[in-house]
Amino acid sequence: MERLKDNWLTEGLIDFEYKKYLLLGYLKRVKEAFGRVELYPFLSDLVFHYRNLLQVKDNHSIFRDSFPKEISAEGLKNLELNYKRMIEDDAIMQELESIMAFALPQFKASLDEGSFIYDYVESRCEISPVGLTSLYANEGYLFITQPPENETNVYRYQVTLFEQSSELMRGIHTQFLLTAPRTLSHTYENLKLTLIRQYTELPNPSAYLVLSKLKFPFDKTLMPIAKRLLVKQLSTAA
């Protein structure tokens, strides 16, 4: 799966037709993935590229941020010279502005399509606690089930807090533990009790179930959305 480079706008040949070809090829792959209801990693990529282009459009000096980060001192010096040349070259700036004018609505249309699919998948999912929740809910277990509901993927989760733009954000890390059978005798509550006995370092954990009413691609769609649902649930409960 070929993704669009972070610095696609400023890397290589600055030519409208070339960049148009590059972008449309990428968006074709995005559309094919969305047609399979596979949201990630393309949806997060689209968000990044669209926001980045908006920033660049409003402030040309942000071109500097689209250059590769891990480069030598000599490479940095050369890029600084290239950057200076670019912003002083009216023809290049006009070409870049034409590329951005074409690219922004293209990204927006793909982003809208992905967001529509995301909202639909999320609307078909329900999240609920399994048994009693712990006062400390930033670490526990996540169960994910989808039709035909004969098995459950079990993860251990840990939420971390970090500050971004003076706002406290939540990040989540998950570790796959097992795929458990789902039967009348293997309920979600019994599964939670089994985990408590097996992982004694979490004697009173919270556990949450994300139940999808429809079957979706697991790794590329359902799992990322389940993690976001869990973060939203914990944020609301905090």
Greater model confidence, 150 or 82:
150
pLDDT band of 94, cuts 50, 70, 90? confident
> Cβ(144)–Cβ(228) under 8 Å?
no
Q: Is the dihedral of CA 188, 193, 194, 196 positive or negative?
A: positive
Check residue 142 and give its pLDDT.
98
Nearest to 52 by CA among 11, 91, 8, 116: 8
> Cβ(232)–Cβ(125) under 8 Å?
no
Check residue 178 and give its pLDDT.
96
pLDDT, mean of residues 37-58: 91
pLDDT, mean of residues 54-71: 60
- pTM of the predicted model as reported, rounded to 2 decimal places: 0.83
DSSP, collapsed to helix, strand or coil, labels residue 31 as helix
Check residue 184 and give its pLDDT.
79
Check residue 80 and give its pLDDT.
54
Check residue 71 and give its pLDDT.
47
Sorted by where each starts, the structural domains of the chain and their CATH numbers stand as 16-122 (no CATH), 125-237 (3.40.1530)
Q: Does the structure show a pLDDT above 80 at 169?
A: no
Residues composing the chain: 238
pLDDT, mean of residues 167-185: 86
Q: Does the structure show a pLDDT above 70 at 41?
A: yes
What's the whole-number average pLDDT of the chain? Answer: 86
152 bridge partner residues: 180
Which of 8-12, 57-61, 159-163, 175-179 bottoms out in mean pLDDT, i.e. has the lowest? 57-61
Check residue 136 and give its pLDDT.
83
97: tokens are 């502005």
Check residue 139 and give its pLDDT.
93
pLDDT tens-place string over residues 146-163: 999 899 999 999 998 765
Residues 6 or more apart whose CB falls under 8 angstroms from that of 13 comprise none
pLDDT, mean of residues 152-177: 83
Task: Report the share of the chain in percent with pLDDT over 70.
Answer: 82
pLDDT, mean of residues 191-201: 94
pLDDT band of 30, cuts 50, 70, 90? very high
pLDDT, mean of residues 42-54: 93
pLDDT tens-place string over residues 208-222: 999 999 999 999 999
pLDDT tens-place string over residues 114-139: 999 999 999 999 999 999 888 788 89
